[in-house]
Amino acid sequence: LDVRQRLNVAKAIRRLKTEGKTVLVAEHDIAMLDYLSDNVCLIYGSPGVYGIVSLPYGVRTGINIYLEGYLPSDNVRFRREPIRFHVKPPTTAREYETPLFQWTKLEKGYEGFNLKVEAGGLHAGEVIGVLGPNGIGKTTFVGLLTGEEKPDKGDFLVTPGEASISYKPQYVSAEYPGTVAEYLKEAGAEFESERFKTEVLGPLGLVKLLDREVGGLSGGELQKVAIASCLARSASIYILDEPSAFLDVEERLAIAGVIRRNVEGPGAAALVVEHDIVVQDFLANRLMVFLGEPGREGQASQPLELREGMNSFLANLKVTFRRDPQTGRPRVNKEGSKLDRYQKEIGEYYYVPLREE
């Protein structure tokens, strides 16, 4: 589900409460869980070995405890390091010295659908997030970047040496007759490096899966292997289409950190299509926003500074976010609340500036 669809589902679930019904929800999207829940229980332990369910907490307190990784009531630390969200200073293309890939205004049409893309580019060391509803042309744009599709209008301006691209598609196939280790070794030479083992395999929890058959993996395990496969290739640009699908909260934030480190160190760039607002906030330096009429026409912005991009996207949804003062995570404001009305009034849909919080 895209962001609008997730919000509509969350609203429908909350309406059940007014009918006197009790609803139990398991959800990996923190922002949506926060929006639709009154109380939360935390489940922690060792995957595949044991799990422990905590007592209920108020939704804000419970999610913050989860991110902190420490359960004060039981004096239990279930994660070595807390997860922190940092408000990023505004960034523009001018701050990045090396353009790796650039495009002019692009157009691509099919029978009944047309996509228009503003001119833009990817620079060394940055992650560009892509936000927009389903059926609006995001995957078509990715196809234009990878060369699987040709634009009807426009062109690409590639720096000398030509940009090399590694791509993780939206849908991942399990049809490989071998182990995870064999699959990753075939994917790219980076698999053999110590850096890859430390910065990719370890954080993604793939070391214990290396001897498993690819065909026997779960959806989440297969997704992590596909991400690792993409990052194992030596490339200047990494494109990942919906990398958080099938992953839990901790895994989503782990892959965000892995992608960032893989881009910042070698001086590469990444473009990430993702519906999870929290993941995009954690990951992206800039955003491309896709708007329009799903299934008929899409318009893609140039890469925008993160705050500007989020504000544009959320204004279209008529949804406002604030930041939790303890963890810095984005939180959806309840529709019609005092803060929701105030932020809409001043045109700050993403979050109220820190000096005003």
Question: Chain centroid to CA 278: how far?
Answer: 7
Mean pLDDT, range 285-295, rounded to an integer: 96
Sign of CA dihedral 248, 251, 256, 259: negative
Q: Which domains does the chain have, with CATH numbers?
A: 3-77 (no CATH), 93-316 (3.40.50.300), 318-356 (no CATH)
Question: What's the confidence (pLDDT) of residue 159?
Answer: 52
Size of the chain in residues: 357
Neighbours of 240 (CB within 10 A): 26
Question: What's the confidence (pLDDT) of residue 95?
Answer: 60
Question: pLDDT tens across 152-202, in order?
Answer: 999 998 754 467 999 999 999 989 999 999 999 999 988 999 999 999 999
Question: pLDDT tens across 112-121, in order?
Answer: 999 999 999 9
Question: What's the confidence (pLDDT) of residue 355?
Answer: 46
Question: What's the confidence (pLDDT) of residue 93?
Answer: 53
- C-alpha 249/C-alpha 206 separation (Å) is 17
Question: What's the confidence (pLDDT) of residue 217?
Answer: 96
What global pTM score does this model have? 0.90
Provide the mean pLDDT of the chain.
91
Mean pLDDT, range 21-39, rounded to an integer: 94
Question: What's the confidence (pLDDT) of residue 252?
Answer: 94
Contacts of 93-98 with CB under 8 Å at 24 or more apart are: 93/120, 93/121, 93/123, 93/286, 93/303, 96/123, 96/124, 96/125, 96/126, 97/123, 97/124, 98/123, 98/124, 98/125, 98/159, 98/267
Question: What's the confidence (pLDDT) of residue 151?
Answer: 96
172 Cβ contact partners less than 8 Å away, ≥ 6 residues apart: 222, 223, 226
Task: Answer yes or no: is pLDDT of 357 > 50.
Answer: no
Q: Which residue has the higher pLDDT, 281 or 354?
A: 281
DSSP state of 80: S
Beta strands 50-53; 43-46: pairing state: antiparallel
- C-alpha 125/C-alpha 121 separation (Å) is 12
pLDDT tier, 351 (very low <50, low <70, confident <90, very high otherwise): confident
- C-alpha 118/C-alpha 116 separation (Å) is 7
Query: Which of 277, 282, 284 lies closest to 321 in space, CA to CA?
Result: 277
- C-alpha 347/C-alpha 340 separation (Å) is 10
Lowest pLDDT segment from 11-15, 24-28, 46-50, 253-257: 46-50
Question: What's the confidence (pLDDT) of residue 267?
Answer: 82
95 Cβ contact partners less than 8 Å away, ≥ 6 residues apart: none
Question: Chain centroid to CA 224: how far?
Answer: 13
Question: What's the confidence (pLDDT) of residue 88?
Answer: 61
